[in-house]
């Protein structure tokens, strides 16, 4: 007797998903893409976390292309959905209601208005009590993101994974991805005494009081040593995490604008993130993914994994 064909799975959960909780099980190679198949929605009612893209890269000092970072990270994230999430062993979407909030709307001909637009649109999410996880874009976008969070939470600690200090001269109105830290510290929205930079492999004229763990320091301290230094520095302060993908060695993240040799491996970085669950994380981002310079989505996948770890930490904290 012939057996009936198995019923086809439903697809396009990004558009037609019935619930904002629970994982997705559609094929990773098809369907409308959102971050980990989350529903595309601007409705924040009942939402715990919003994933948001900021396709802006006019502030880069070397190779452009990070405006395509949100697309690349979303595409790579499809392979992560549908299963208990390693290394968390659970589905974060059973504990967290997560939506893909789409992308920031920007006028490509009005870069002078970009920071105001990012801050205003981010504030709509933050002020609603929803945790905002952003996908850049170049690292300039973190400055207005910090401003939006500081309006709600006050001055914050910052944990920055990066090859660069980004403390260069912060001339007013300058559009530069290398000066967001200087602006944030001088505006008083980041607390340098509680902030730390991890994986730095370049020099800048000023440290502005932040603790620095250079690339060689990370190698010498090891994962647990780095985690201990981060926790000791941050303490119980409300914390913003920012992850420039060039913190990783170019072998693990070739698709970025200013790659620097001697960086962290993907495994090292994710192991460190995995152990930061005690931090009071109020917002986070991953930036500088530039898919045009990537190979086989290596860099985009690393960026997606960073965001997946953010979600895992938030889910565990919610319990």
Tell me the per-residue pLDDT of 29-68, one tens digit each, with 9 for 90 and over. 667 889 999 999 999 999 999 999 999 999 898 999 999 9
Whether the pTM exceeds 0.95: the reply is: no
CB atoms within 10 A of CB 62: 10
- Sign of the Cα torsion 190, 196, 199, 201 reads positive
**Token reading at 305:** 């994994």
Give per-residue pLDDT as tens, 262-306: 999 999 999 999 999 999 999 999 999 999 999 999 999 999 999
pLDDT of 175 over the 90 cut = no
Where do the domains of the chain lie?
Answer: 18-318
Q: What share of the chain in percent tops pLDDT 70?
A: 91
Strands (E), the chain: 49-54, 98-103, 131-136, 157-161, 196-200, 211-214, 238-244, 280-287
Q: How far apart are CA 236 and CA 257, in angstroms?
A: 34
**Domain 18-318 part of CATH 3.40.50.300:** no
Q: Contact, 56 vs 68, CB < 8 A?
A: no
CA 260, distance to chain mean position in Å, is 19
- The mean pLDDT value of the chain amounts to 92
Q: Parallel, antiparallel, or unpaired: how do β-strands 131-136 and 98-103 relate?
A: unpaired
Region 16-34: mean pLDDT is: 69
Is the pLDDT at 19 greater than 90? The verdict is no
């Amino acid at each position: 007797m012939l057996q009936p064909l198995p019923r086809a799975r439903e697809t396009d959960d990004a558009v037609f998903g019935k619930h904002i909780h629970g994982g997705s099980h559609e094929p990773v190679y098809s369907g409308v893409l959102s971050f980990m198949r989350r529903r595309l929605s601007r409705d924040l009612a009942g939402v715990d976390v919003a994933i948001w893209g900021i396709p802006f890269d006019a502030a880069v000092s070397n190779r452009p292309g990070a405006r395509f970072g949100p697309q690349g990270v979303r595409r790579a994230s499809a392979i992560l959905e549908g299963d208990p999430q390693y290394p968390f062993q659970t589905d974060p979407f059973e504990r967290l209601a997560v939506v893909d909030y789409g992308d920031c709307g920007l006028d490509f001909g009005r870069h002078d208005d970009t920071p105001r637009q990012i801050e205003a649109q981010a504030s709509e999410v933050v002020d609603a009590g929803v945790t905002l996880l952003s996908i850049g874009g170049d690292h300039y976008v973190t400055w207005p993101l910090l401003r939006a969070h500081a309006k709600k939470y006050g001055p914050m600690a910052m944990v920055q994974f990066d090859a660069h200090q980004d403390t260069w001269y912060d001339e007013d109105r300058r559009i530069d991805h290398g000066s967001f830290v200087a602006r944030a510290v001088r505006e008083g929205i980041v607390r340098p005494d509680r902030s730390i930079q991890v994986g730095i492999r370049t020099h800048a004229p000023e440290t502005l009081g932040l603790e620095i763990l250079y690339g060689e320091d990370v190698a010498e301290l090891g994962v647990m040593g780095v985690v201990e230094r981060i926790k000791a520095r941050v303490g119980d302060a409300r914390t913003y995490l920012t992850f420039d993908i060039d913190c990783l060695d170019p072998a693990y993240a070739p698709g970025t604008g200013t790659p620097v040799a001697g960086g962290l491996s993907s495994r090292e970085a994710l192991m460190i993130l995995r152990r930061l669950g005690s931090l009071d994380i109020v917002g986070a981002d991953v930036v500088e993914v530039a898919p045009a310079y990537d190979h086989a989505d290596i860099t985009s996948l690393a960026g997606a994994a960073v965001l997946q770890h953010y979600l895992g930490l938030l889910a565990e904290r919610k319990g």
